[in-house]
A = this chain, B = another copy of it.
Amino acid sequence: MSALQILHRDPGSQARAGVLRTAHGAVRTPAFVPLATKGTVKGLAPHEVAGLGYDMVLGNTFHLFLDPGPELIEHFGGLHEFMAWRSPIITDSGGFQVFSMGHGTVADEIKGRAPTGADRMGRVLSIEEDGVRFRSYVNGEERFMGPETSMGVQAALGSDLALVFDECTPLNVDRDYTARSTERTHRWLDRCLTWHDEFGPAGQLVYGIVQGGVHEDLRIASAQEVASRPVGGIAIGGSLGADKPQMYEVVRWAICALGDDARPRHLLGIGDVDDLIRGVELGIDTFDCAMPTRLGRHGVALVPDPGKRWRVDLTAARWKHSREPIMEGCPCPSCEAGHTRGYLRYLLRQRELTALRLLTVHNLAFIARLMTELRGAIAAGTLAERAAALRGGAAPRAA
């Protein structure tokens, strides 16, 4: 039986709304999942994250593996107790981070940059069938991560939803490389499931990950392979394309291949406003992304402005004298406090913690309202209309 109870289906799209049941409670779907990369949503206390309307956060297996290590988190009774977040947690597998060290991210590739992951996260020493050897960014030690390592760490963390260890194929490799890489991802999927069968914590759902790059046949085959396994959910990962139309196409291939599979579907690392709307229409149940929190720490606020990717850069000189609020009519705590864009710009120039927090809260509140509105529209049968309004620049309504 699927952990996802689908309560409503949109007649005009693949969208569905429901409840994802986990060992630590329910997640209303479709849902955005804020990052708690290192065991905290940066700058926020757990009750604040819940207060903004979030049911689940995402912990990062790679970073928590290196520091403080799974043993310490186990000592504290698992990640929920460690970070005092007693609601659902999904953990990624570490695959994305490990492979970003070697390949760089898709953003690096598109922008022609050297891998930034190499500086931030360490250095890959070898990629073999068994797994990946790399140098830790924490202390320079040689470390290893393979499917069993990843599942072992996620077992120690005690997350509700665990993701299998996959090879995150880069965008600019040929079809053959992608095909071989995707096959290895499937072998690793089986090793993860075997390990989890024997050692996995009770109640932890394992999500398989669909790879296959930007090749339709490989994506479809991968989706079918993953769906043929006894996974609790299905994630879509890897290189989703060089631009948004291609990304939507890649996601659509995978979802079509899944047919009426009722298991929950997660889209990895995607969180732009237009991508969330489109992803929901394509039939995605949950999303995670650094975007709302990272943008906030860089002085960018989410606002209903499709022409500017729903963004306004509050560090810009043009806001120096502005009495405008962050967003007109926004009911979030940061906007309700009456702060002006001029004040925010000043605080950001001073690198005041207060500004990073105000914008993190605003951005997460914006995305939470967006998801609440999409859920409500699916239930009410008005998704097409509301999606069009949101795409046109309507503000997500208050929850």
Chain B residues positioned under 8 Å from A40 (CB to CB):
347, 352, 354-355
Query: Once the chains bind, are A352 and B38 in contact (CB under 8 Å)?
Result: yes
Chain B residues positioned under 8 Å from A72 (CB to CB):
320-321, 342, 346
- A185 within 8 A of partner (CB): no
**Given A45-B358, A46-B337, A342-B76: A350 touches B38 (CB 8 Å cut-off):** yes
Checking B42, B321, B333, B343 against A39 with a beta-carbon cut-off of 8 angstroms, the contacting residue is: B343
Interface hits, A198-244 → B, CB 8 Å = none
Checking B67, B68, B339, B354 against A42 with a beta-carbon cut-off of 8 angstroms, the contacting residue is: B354
6 contacts between A and B (CB under 8 A): A39-B343, A42-B354, A43-B43, A45-B333, A45-B358, A353-B356
Chain B residues positioned under 8 Å from A352 (CB to CB):
38, 40, 42-43
Interface residues as binary, A61-97 with B (CB distance below 8 Å gives 1, 0 otherwise): 0000001100010011000001110000000000000
- A340 within 8 A of partner (CB): yes
Query: Once the chains bind, are B84 and A346 in contact (CB under 8 Å)?
Result: no
Total contacting residues, chain A, CB less than 8 A: 40
- A338 within 8 A of partner (CB): yes
- A24 within 8 A of partner (CB): no
Shortest distance between the CB of A334 and any CB in chain B (Å): 7
CA distance A162 to B339 in the complex (A): 24
From A40, A43, A44, A347, residue with most partner B Cβ within 10 Å: A40
- A175 within 8 A of partner (CB): no
- A47 within 8 A of partner (CB): yes
- A323 within 8 A of partner (CB): yes
- A135 within 8 A of partner (CB): no
Interface hits, A157-191 → B, CB 8 Å = none
Chain B residues positioned under 8 Å from A346 (CB to CB):
39, 67-68, 72
Checking B44, B82, B343 against A76 with a beta-carbon cut-off of 8 angstroms, the contacting residue is: B343
- A8 within 8 A of partner (CB): no
From A42, A45, A323, A349, residue with most partner B Cβ within 10 Å: A45
A347 — nearest CB in chain B belongs to which residue?
B40
